[in-house]
Amino acid sequence: MPTAAAAPEVAGPETVVGRAIARYIRMTPRKVGYVIRPLRHHTVAEALTILSVTNRRACGPVAKLLASAFANARAKEPTLREEDVFISRITADDGPRWKRFRAAGFGRATRILKRTTHITIELEKRARHGA
């Protein structure tokens, strides 16, 4: 019987140092995705620098959430620095949609979907070389 391919190494709950979730953010997940995609596998310090020079509306909630995740990590290990921790997982998932209607021609109405996003950030400690 053929063996299944080895599953990629996924961060378990024991390796995650800090985690934060922002729910019901009033932005589309696609637009938030443009901001979070370059942040994956960067340290917290690098990610905050990238966010500070990116000109997108989603940068505010993402930076605030990243600071919250780092604060949660510091609560567990007070000696952590921003350079010691990296973003292991960051996702922007669909939240519920607000359904609204807008007037259209000939007495009709068209539907407008106002999308929301749930953003999740997980941080892990960076392996130190020579330690």
Using one digit for the tens of pLDDT, what is the confidence trace for 64-109?
Answer: 999 999 999 999 999 999 999 999 999 999 999 999 999 999 999 9
The torsion defined by the Cα of 93, 16, 68 and 55, in degrees rounded to 10, comes to: -50
Q: Which domain holds residue 73?
A: 17-125
Please report whether residue 38 resides in a domain. yes
Q: Model pTM?
A: 0.83
Please report whether residue 34 resides in a domain. yes
Using one digit for the tens of pLDDT, what is the confidence trace for 52-74?
Answer: 999 999 999 999 999 999 999 99
Using one digit for the tens of pLDDT, what is the confidence trace for 1-37?
Answer: 455 554 445 555 568 999 999 999 999 999 999 999 9
Count of domains in the chain?
A: 1
Please report whether residue 111 resides in a domain. yes
Mean pLDDT of the chain: 90
Beta bridge mates, 43: 86
